[in-house]
Amino acid sequence: MLLKKFIISVSFLSVLLCSCSGGSKQFVVEGKVTDAAGNTLFMEEVGTGNVVSLDSVVLNETGEFKFVHDGSYFPMFYRLRLNGDAISFSADSVTHLIIKASGHNFFTGYELVESDQANRQIQDIAYKRYNTDCRIDSLVSLYATGLIGPDSLNNMVGEIAAQFKKEMTTRYIYVDPKSPASYFALFQKKNGVMYFDAEDKMDSRAFAAVATSFDAFYPNAPYTPFLKDIALKSIKTARQKEALKEHLRQLETITPIAFPEIELQNSHGEKVSLTKVAERNRRTLICITAYAGNWSPALVRTLRDIYSKKDTYDLEIYEVSEDKDIYYWRNASRTLPWICVFDPDNSVVGKYNLKQLPSFFLIKDGVLHILSSPEEALL
């Protein structure tokens, strides 16, 4: 019997072992914009490539505003627009942002009074893109006055763009490809031209990393098919440009891992890396559970049955315990033949965006898949 009926919902770490009810499905963006009385502040959705106006307000002397809008479990992308400037942000059903800004420098001087990490990263990315734009504009001015030639201009602009892309990939995209900040970084533009080029061999890695993660974590988001389509076209173009052997070699050596790393201790005190386990096995079933849960005995029986077929399917089980009591975990897992590790800080809950226990994932040939039951690992 599938284990779906044993799954319980969780909302916070403090109630990982208890059912809980959902809260508000709306996000809130509020704050104050000074020096802008009489101007209209717009809130617009921009996540799918089209700009959709959602709400607006004419600012009074106090400049206070508040927008409330329906949210989803996946992040969507929006902007606040005032005259020719805009503040970008992402939001899901639990987002609450408080923004302080001035009409004189709406974009360059806004402050996030209250914000989640993703939106602070989006602010940082937007500022870095703005500074990169300014550096390129300075070079264009030098070219227009004859101080530099076209070759120098192209080389220097290419170097500046490469520096920006390197910072985006090393700080955001490859660190956490499922983050809204990674998606935002991938689609930064200057004068309508994207910094990341889907037809570029190196940039295609970034598109593939984000597309794979968003397809796994946010498959129902309206922008995920668009992102997957770009990634697939990017891969196709790369194959056309290179010989097949060289292309496959590059994929094996430089394609980033599209799943969050887990490195926790087993009952012997040894740290076990999920990445290394996945490298040794074609299939790695990730089971995130709690032995104190009432579903645990049935789950253990199911996992034993799956593990008995490990050689046939080249499979390993990497089980993560979210139990509060480490001694209980050690006693419950001492006879289990697969890899069992303990998550003392519940860090895996955030890394894998968990909403319920138990949760199951499969890494197959380096690609992460969300499972509804552990038996799907054998399909």
Domain containing residue 370: CATH number: 3.40.30.10
Provide the residue range defining the domain that includes 227: 126-239
Write down the pLDDT at residue 20: 38
What pLDDT, in 10s, does the model give residues 235-270? 777 666 665 556 556 556 544 556 889 999 999 899
Residue 257 lies in a domain: no
How far is Cα 248 from Cα 242, in angstroms, rounded to an integer? 10
Is 131 found in the same domain as 102?
A: no
**Residues of the chain by 3-state class (helix, strand, coil), percent to 5:** 40, 25, 35
Question: What CATH number has the domain bearing residue 44?
Answer: 2.60.40.1120
Is 139 found in the same domain as 107?
A: no
User: Percentage of residues in the chain with pLDDT exceeding 90?
Assistant: 71
Which is nearest to 103 in space by CA: 184, 35, 29, 192? 35
How far is Cα 24 from Cα 215, in angstroms, rounded to an integer? 25
Eight-state DSSP code of residue 22: -
Is 134 found in the same domain as 86?
A: no
What pLDDT, in 10s, does the model give residues 5-44? 333 333 333 334 333 334 458 999 999 999 999 999 999 9
Q: How many domains does the chain have?
A: 3
Residue 226 lies in a domain: yes
Average of pLDDT values for 205-228?
89
How far is Cα 224 from Cα 240, in angstroms, rounded to an integer? 24
Is 284 found in the same domain as 215?
A: no
Transcribe 192-209 into DSSP letters: TEESS-TTSTTHHHHHHH
Write down the pLDDT at residue 68: 96
pLDDT band at 365 (very low <50, low <70, confident <90, very high): confident
Q: Which of 85, 114, 143 is the last residue of a domain?
A: 114
Residue 248 lies in a domain: no
What's the whole-model pTM score? 0.61
